[in-house]
Structure 1
């Protein structure tokens, strides 16, 4: 009965490593009868491309283009160095297949024809649009090129949707062969936002039917057969993640990319052999990348910290064609420290485009994968922009259709103190578990540790095969944010809730007496429930029961509360913040479990028994909580009884220089415990640390600061109990709350409590 139900916890793996590559800035140029591409390299003759022209950005155009894109097909014209040509079949988002063209009914009114044409455009049914064209329009453009042009502009200009509207046409008198419909189109785009164009739709009568007399100007005004549409994207700088003092936890910084230019490599075999040895990759992999590239393409292989420049120069400085180029990358200056809070980024994949494509992201853009990097992606990632214009064949701008500069990502300032975080990481060391430190005055999180951890820089510079296998196969799950997403039975640190319920609803007083002989037989004399001390604690009152953490005392209380009302203990537990998200901003968190009559019936399809309440009274049974929830529960006691949301994000500093957005902890409610009874509980917690009978005396003996403390050992599905410590200091003027949980640590008093004291000393001193 005292044992808890075994639970299977999901094994969580780290995300796979996505390869890095140099981004390409696209310019989509679409003309009239033939496509004319105007670039900084000159004019690409008509016929050189069939749909979309993509040039490198001005910064990279002279020498850098990623070879990871499709190369020209055999027999196709060789791309100009520094540019990449792709056909409409390679665009990132292909519209859904259009239905078979529908013939217009005889003598359809002009108004109906114009409306159908615009509705087909709205639905991206481009073949259907083409079937509505006049003979003259069809003579100037084939159906394949018509569809390809609309697809290319839709994708190239990052158009998510169009919304046309049209003024009704006054039906022309008999014999009138040409009319015009006035219409407007709202373009909803990923990079340019929303913009509108007003235009005129010409229709001509052919053999009794109205047809659209199409020209390129129906896509955008001023577009003619000898002009082109050009889109130049503008990318934001990702915002930084800062600690409470402004120290960077994640920011853009200089790094080195090791790579080669095939045409400059004189001894390819030597270069490949040396690179293979240094990078720990197969020679065939490097040769494959070289063969896929043009002679003057830059072939990036791996990124390295800027501090390794001398090493790379010494190793490859004499091998012609092998270079280490400096560039900006996402860096994590503190490595493992705070990794589960800060999180990491990696390049966006094709799958990610289902979520991020509509916001202007492209494959290869860095996106947050965990922690604050993920939770605050919308702020950190900024807003992508661009410039859409119509240009002549000579590259002169005729008209700017839409222009939205990129807006850099905002900086996110946390309440974490990286100096305290680093010390907390060292305190927990190689143990598996978590350590939470909060300031109860404003409920801000000072340190949030989960161990073991990982170095997020590995997702930037790459993990070796051996390092990745070690991380991903580690049964201790180093990617798991234990402080917020792992739940555990709480053990005796929960007994403060049972004591509060006893004082408020059970008719108990601090001096209510109990007899503890080490065995409790109320539920079943044949199967007595034991105490953590087999010989028992003797005669003691309620307050001393908490000091000594006597299980028998709390069995009695749990049983009596359940007789009064089975909902008393679950309700008090929820009021102290367990069984629900804490409301922390920016991080994912688990809810935990607060068992109750309804929960057991709905979840397990079982009845509620008195033994469930008895188990719960000592923090066992089905009760589960995260270390953050336990820390927040003790912060509630430290501040006098107000449950608040933990504060992790202090402020957001917009990338466009706008006003700073400040955040504060939000008050949820006051717990149903009188100030007098909270004082009784707090005094008992003091005695846990400084009384000869206190379970934390082993750790706090000789400590000159007056603190509150509680230890716990929680049975679980593993052979060894989890070790808990929760406490705060100073007792009368609390400035720091500490919770420690060590998986399989066995004893809270001898394992977790000494770590808790070290954490308190970081803030309070020795």
Structure 2
């Protein structure tokens, strides 16, 4: 009996030891980097327990503006202090003399520290190059003057560039074959998401020292500099943005209290985004709940009279722009008297300048009779529908898109609507089911300014390796599909200029600006109401200088009362600002 019990206990003990051994093998040998369902890197966690470190650079790629200035981060020369200094008699007086930081302040900072820190963080105290050299020449253990990467408190073009975040589940789903730490940052919106695979870190750059259980030095006071030492990574994403123009644009958008909307500024020569502002701003604590993460410049909006440009192009080609023909602009589209905008009898050019709904409702009906698809065809020729942003095959990625969340414009939702004369009339003035993105509207103006040449819009010109050499280029690229003729483009240019020159034109406010402006206004009813009052989308889309086009600009304020808006003043101030900048550079 006792022998059977002894064998039983022996079997239990051996089984327990085997299970323990298997578990130890799992921990020590087999799953050291991906332990448990949470994929915990045991090697990293083990090192963390016996080290303290200061991350200098998280290793993720950077976004630069067109001139090479960092957009999301900045590199600051800082004073780094390690907590073990409190156990040493270090030369705080000499560091104080060089840096200008009082001795006692330095000592107090070290006394309260439990880990290495950059002095003054989160608003780091910045050192000069000379101060850095002198501090490092002292060779005090635990005192370093280094260049550290900090995230900017305010990121320009934040919706365009996008956000990053930790998401272990999405990380595994997106990169099943890569060995990445659970804490690896992923791009979750904007260009951060589009270019995420290129931006992934090879490793962090950091200062490290080993500690015992009390936090004291384990192997003396030697601090190690750990760096992936890869001359090619992290990469830099060279955007087409101009940081100073972007900041000026954001200031102006906020000055005119645009709560929902923003602007798009395109360099016509290379069809690149110089500035893009979207409001509301991102609430970092609740980016999805506040709606701020959405880039309004890439989302479908009700276009209003900006769409009359498309109707005008079709009318020109169909010879419906006879200068002797007059339209009764004392009436609405439905034939009822027009009380608010009673312009009397107007010809085609004056109808466009004054934005007569009756004229373009009639023209849209006539065009629809000849071809139910004609409005969509011309919207396509002017790049208002279909993808506007750059896309193509790069590196090992096919059909890569710079703007991952860009909406495509639309004119009709159904064939029934397409063939309905009343719906055609409403579509002719940019209402009913017509939707366009502000980016596409800006690209339409750039297309007209170039004489009908239709191009994709870029926000990134290239990806650069760490050493400055080019990894991937994003060349200028024509958009597929039919285009308007140079003759039609010339006629549209004159119409758009007349909007400004005409004493009663909807763009007459821009007549005396330093750059000659051509463009089209828009006021669209949104179908939304505030205390019973109709809300509108207010637009102005145009380009300048008229004779030698350089910039295409769209300003838009969404869901505002008819008495509100600010888009004209915003557009005008952007023109003035760009004129002043260009004048200084000449």
Cα drift, residue 588 of structure 1: 2.5
Q: Whole-Å Cα distance in 1 between the matches of residues 245 and 294 of structure 2?
A: 21
1:762 aligns with 2:577: yes
- In structure 2, relative to structure 1, the CA distance for the partners of 1:520 and 1:625 (3 Å cut) is closer
Tell me the secondary structure at the aligned position of residue 68 of structure 2: coil
Q: Which residue of 1 aligns with 2:195?
A: 376
Partner of residue 423, structure 2: 612
Name the structure 2 match of 1:346.
165
**1:679 shift after superposition:** 1.3
2:554 to 739, 745, 751: 739
- State the match for 1:536 in structure 2: 342
2:466 equivalent in structure 1 = 655
> Are 1:335 and 2:154 counterparts?
yes
Q: 1:259 to 1:488 in 2, by over 3 A?
A: farther
Secondary structure at the counterpart of residue 651 of structure 1: strand
Decide which of 546, 555, 559 is 2:352's aligned counterpart. 546
Distance 1:684 1:749 in 2: 26
Contact 1:558/1:616 (CA < 8 Å) preserved in 2?
A: yes
8 Å Cα contact 1:708/1:727 also seen in 2: yes
Which segments of 5 or more consecutive residues in structure 1 lack a partner in the other structure? 1-137, 160-189, 191-234, 266-295, 311-322, 386-403, 460-467
- Name which of 234, 252, 255 aligns with 1:409: 234
Instruction: Choose which of 366, 383, 392 in structure 2 pairs with 1:577.
Output: 383
Distance 2:441 2:29 in 1: 55
- Equivalent position of 1:59 in the other structure: none
Matches of 1:257 and 1:608, distance apart in 2: 71
Q: Would the aligned equivalents of 1:712 and 1:749 in 2 still touch at CA under 8 Å?
A: no
Following the alignment from structure 1 to structure 2, what is the Cα–Cα distance between the partners of residues 363 and 330? 21
Q: Which residue of 2 aligns with 1:723?
A: 538
CA shift, 1:503, in A, is: 1.3
Q: Do the aligned partners of residues 610 and 305 (structure 1) sit closer, same or farther apart at CA in structure 2, a change above 3 Å counting?
A: same
Aligned to 1:759, what secondary structure does the other structure show?
Answer: helix
Instruction: Give the match for residue 244 of structure 1.
Output: 66
The equivalent position to 1:480 in structure 2, one of 289, 294, 299, is 294
Query: Hey, which of these two has a bigger chunk of helix by percent?
Result: 2
Q: 1:725 to 1:748 in 2, by over 3 A?
A: farther
Shift of 1:154: 5.0
Which stretch shows the higher mean deviation, 676-685 or 657-666?
A: 657-666
Measured against aligned partners, the alpha-carbon deviations of 1:12-32 in whole angstroms (never above 9, x if no partner) come to: xxxxxxxxxxxxxxxxxxxxx
Residue-by-residue CA offset, 1:426-460 (whole Å, 9 max, x unaligned): 111131211110111110111011123247xxx6x
Select the structure of larger CA radius of gyration.
1
Tell whether the 8 Å contact from 1:343 to 1:373 is kept in structure 2 after alignment: yes
Q: Which residue of 2 aligns with 1:305?
A: 122
SS of corresponding position for 1:519: coil
- Give the direction of change, closer, same or farther, for the CA distance of 1:304–1:249 in structure 2 (3 Å limit): same
- 1:515 maps to what in 2? 328
The equivalent of 1:667 in structure 2 is 478
Q: 1:653 to 1:299 in 2, by over 3 A?
A: closer
Following TM superposition, by how much is the alpha carbon of 1:509 offset from its aligned partner in structure 2, in angstroms?
A: 3.4
Cα distance in 1 for residues equivalent to 2:445 and 2:563: 16
Rounded Cα–Cα distance in structure 1 between residues aligned with 2:77 and 2:179: 26
Q: For the residues of structure 1 that align with 2:472 and 2:559, how far apart are their CA atoms?
A: 42
Q: What TM-score does the superposition give when structure 2 sets the normalisation length?
A: 0.69
Asked if structure 2 preserves the Cα contact closer than 8 Å seen for 1:384 and 1:405, the reply is no
Q: Please give the alpha-carbon distance, in whole angstroms, between the structure 1 residues aligned to 2:267 and 2:563.
A: 22
SS at match of 2:423: helix
| The 10-residue stretch of structure 1 (427-436 or 349-358) with the greater mean CA deviation from structure 2 | 349-358
| Cα pair 1:243 1:417 within 8 Å, conserved | yes
Distance 1:555 1:590, change over 3 A: same
Distance 1:750 1:146, change over 3 A: closer
**Structure 1 residue 555: deviation in Å?**
0.6
Q: CA deviation at 1:712?
A: 0.6
Q: Distance in 1 between matches of 2:74 and 2:31?
A: 29
1:564-587: CA deviation from partner (whole Å, max 9, x where unpaired): 111111111122222322124533
CA, structure 1 residues 428+573, in 2 after alignment: closer, same or farther (shift >3 Å)?
same
Between Structure 1 and Structure 2, how many residues are aligned?
Answer: 465
Deviation of 1:617 after TM superposition, in Å, equals 0.6
TM-score (norm 1): 0.54
What's the CA shift for 1:686? 0.8
1:180 alignment partner in structure 2: none
Q: Secondary structure at the match of 2:237?
A: strand
